Structure 1
């Protein structure tokens, strides 16, 4: 009887190692390597007439007002983080803080990030300090990443001052 229980115990232990094959697990196929794109919070700013206030050539531009972002207790001044260009085959998330850029449509945007697209982020509070005496704006974002049928999926949810919004976040000042 002891021998039978010993064999049964050993067999059940071995079975636990073989019960979860790679084919049954969720995630990428074993022969596929995925580069998961990072995500960034993009922000456009205009006046009530639709003028791009981040464009340095627009009258009433706020581009050079010393805009700051406050995230996780740290303050990031616009365009203050230097990120040297590097070369890699991998798509890597490179955190650049708060920076301005012009998009192909001609509009300027503030961008905050980059964040790793293959991670989950619980709601994160990002406060934009316009440094011009007007009220700060609060953006709350969360990000979910998961595998489904061996395909990566991700979703970012963004709120502006308590109301769900689309990306890019559009602020009217």
Structure 2
């Protein structure tokens, strides 16, 4: 008997939950207890009364494991809906990063030139440094950070991925 190993694929999940204390810990605990990795996690309130939140989770899993993850998330009482945006099809993913770069002379000029190419905005500037705000795909931000490493990268802060399905329907 030959066992076929399924390949892990990256998936973005949108989880709609009641905004109550401990729900994020319960969801993270579900992943931890079963040995699933969370690559990115973002949370925000999505209703005016602050009663409902959207949790965006990026994880890598085989199809069978992903099915288990979704089923276990759906069983949690405060969870209203779990949507696998990756399986659903076309969706938009973005991340925001703040990138601090220090330098002078040519390094400073090169940092500004690269920022322009990557459509990064200067959100803070001193005589010795810049803080850039850049949004886009993970790959775009990774490349921007890599290039800034060559001209004086000091620090990076990233939000994690937010994602939404394309089209007129809610995801």
Same fold (TM over 0.5): no
Going by fraction, where is helix more abundant, 1 or 2? 2
Relative to the length of structure 2, the TM-score reads 0.24
